[in-house]
A and B are shown apart, each in its own frame.
Chain A
């Protein structure tokens, strides 16, 4: 392998997408070529620095995400909700179907259905399990009601507003 051939495999090597055979060939070249080895060390150093930007602990991330919930509607609205649920699930499926490449996080035990209570301050929220309501939900719900909106976004916004009342 020469330097030009290595350049074609550079992204795959850094991205850990080479076969074992190709990787061995690349590493043999790196051992022999100081210039390519220096380039590799530089890019590896950049990647190492990037990976020091850490993710939140998985359990904490799930806990935070669970605070952004929509409550199931009261009984009177449930018939209408059931009728539109299929469409709603399909729409959510577009968003969530490919969301995670890594194994899905194990959800924490949820002792009761999440509820929207009073709206929490948007900024400086305490680290708690307090549900969160974005003020734009409320505004969107009112717009939907006035426009007779039936889109999925309007449905969720109306449900969120209903649960608050």
Chain B
């Protein structure tokens, strides 16, 4: 395998996972990954200080923009074949997806980026802060504020804990 492609596979896979989490659609996730990788390569010549943080931010923003456009044109939405849908391909799962992505879109970019990095990538606050060029304390504040902002939007989807 070409050495460039081999090195890049991990990056592409990570970007794809971010995209899939937000889009819950394999076709759209592949398109989004292409787009983000193109942007990354175009940017690489100029240097990217923290590639992971940059890629995450660009992927999230691109995917949320896709979803915003999709909501504006519901008839043109890609309909995923049953076997390619998100594992919970029922109405409740789609409603949850819509609620989460709409709520994420309403967060500030830093709150959104910190939340995604913490919840889905399981980075530490120190790692997140380093990637964003902010203090660890700020990263923690963004995280808590993001959770509190999401709380009223996701109350209906909270499962009763035992």
Contact = CB atoms under 8 A, between A and B. Distances in A.
Interface of A: 10-12, 14-15, 17, 41-56, 60-62, 64-72, 85, 88-89, 91-102, 104-105, 107, 110, 113-114, 122-125, 127, 132, 134, 136-137, 140, 151-153, 156-157
B140 A12 contact: yes
Interface string B122-162: 11110100000000000011011001101100110111010
Contacts of B124: 15, 17
Minimum-distance CB pairs A-B, first 10: A45-B158, A11-B140, A65-B12, A151-B45, A56-B20, A65-B13, A99-B11, A49-B154, A96-B11, A153-B41
B65 interface: no
B44 A46 contact: no
B108 interface: no
Nearest to B35: A134
Identify which of A11, A46, A51, A96 gathers the most chain B CB atoms within 10 Å of its CB: A46
Contacts of A153: 41-42, 44-45
B38 A105 contact: no
Contacts of B33: 64-65, 68
Interface in B10-48: 10-17, 20-22, 24, 26-27, 29-31, 33-35, 37-38, 40-42, 44-45, 47-48
A47 B151 CA distance: 9
Given A54-B87, A64-B16, A151-B45, A95 B9 contact: no
Nearest to B123: A101
B2 A114 contact: yes
A144 to B, nearest CB: 11
B72 interface: no
A152 B45 contact: yes
B75 interface: no
B10 A96 contact: yes
A28 B18 CA distance: 36
Contacts of B161: 41, 44-45, 48
B143 A15 contact: yes
Given A50-B150, A85-B4, 12 more contacts: A11-B125, A15-B143, A17-B124, A48-B159, A51-B120, A53-B120, A56-B16, A64-B29, A68-B33, A89-B3, A89-B7, A157-B41
